[in-house]
Structure 1
Amino acid sequence: MFNPSRDQVRSFFIDTWRKARAKEVLTPMETIAADIIALHPEYHAVVEDPEAVHRDFPPEAGQINPFLHLSLHLAIEEQLSIDQPPGIRAAFEAACQHRGDRHDAMHDALECLGEMLFDAQRKGTPPDGAAYVGALRKRAGLAL
């Protein structure tokens, strides 16, 4: 199982965006990441700064960690590609219809994923994929 460090993840996004802007050949994963970065112009200055690998983005200072946000986007794209946890693809498609916008639905999924991960950490339990899918279904206005 691949378990990159914080710096490796950040370098991946910084290098990917540099390559995309230079119109270099991207791997399939880099293509997905570049598309995600393109949807977030508010993060472009960060991913264009190689020194951002070492920056902190403390939530108590009201900052959103752009690398965490982009990583969650990438994780959900992976989940959708393999429908794991089971039912995430259908729930996401319903969220897209409900919101009328894929990116808005993606942010709904991000919130559900973040809540599920926070809950698992708080309780010291494994992540609950069914609860995650259920939360997204609920946001999409579907019966659980």
Structure 2
Amino acid sequence: MFNPSQTEVRQFFCETWHKQSTGALLTPLENMAAHWISEHPEYHKLLSAADAQQQSYLPEQGQTNPFLHLSMHLAISEQLSIDQPPGICAAYERLAVKLGTAHAAQHSIMECLGETLWQAQRNQAPLDSTAYLACIKRRAS
């Protein structure tokens, strides 16, 4: 199982943005990441900053961690690519129609993913894919 460190994740996104910005060849995963970075122009300057990888992002101060946000986009994209958990693709498609864009649908699913991750951590239990999918389906209906 691929389990990168915080430093490796941050380096991946910064390097991907640099490669995208300079027209360098991207791997398939970098291409997917570059798509989501492009969808978030508010992160472009940050990902180009020399100190981007050292910054802290504190939710209690109203800050969004761009690396976590982009990682969640990648995770959802991977789930959609293999329809895992089964049924996520159909729910995502309904959600995209309901919300008007695929990006908005991803953000809605991201809230379900965040809740599912939080519950698993809080309960020291595995991710509950049934509850995760149910959350997405509720949003899509």
Give TM-score, length-normalised by structure 2: 0.97
Instruction: For 1:25, give the aligned amino acid.
Output: L
What's 1:125 paired with?
A: 125
Q: Which residue of 1 aligns with 2:42?
A: 42
Distance 2:102 2:86 in 1: 20
| Deviant stretches of 4+, over 2 Å | none
Structure 1, residues 105-129: CA drift from partner, whole Å, max 9, x if none? 0100100100111111111111111
5+ residue gaps, structure 1: none
Q: Where do 1:51-62 residues align within 5 Å?
A: 51-62=51-62
Percent of aligned positions with the same letter in both sequences? 52
Specify the alignment match of 1:13 in structure 2: 13
SS of the residue corresponding to residue 89 of structure 1 reads helix
> Per-residue CA shift, 1:34-70, capped at 9, x if unaligned?
0100000111111111321111101111101000000
Who is 1:85 aligned against?
85
Q: Hey, what's the Cα distance between the residues in 1 that align with 2:94 and 2:39? A: 21
Query: How far apart, CA to CA, are the structure 2 residues paired with 1:91 and 1:54?
Result: 37
Deviation at residue 97 of structure 1 after TM alignment:
1.4
CA offsets 1:77-97 (integer angstroms, 9 cap, x no match): 000001111111111111111
In the alignment, residue 12 of structure 2 is paired with which amino acid? F
Q: Which residue of 1 aligns with 2:140?
A: 140
Over the aligned positions, Cα root-mean-square deviation in angstroms equals 0.8
The SS at the match of 2:92 is: helix
Shift of 1:99: 1.0
Q: TM-score, normalised by structure 1?
A: 0.95
Residues in 1 aligned to 2:60 and 2:133: alpha-carbon distance in whole angstroms: 29
Q: Please, which runs of 5 or more residues in structure 2 have no aligned partner?
A: none
Report the equivalent of 1:73.
73
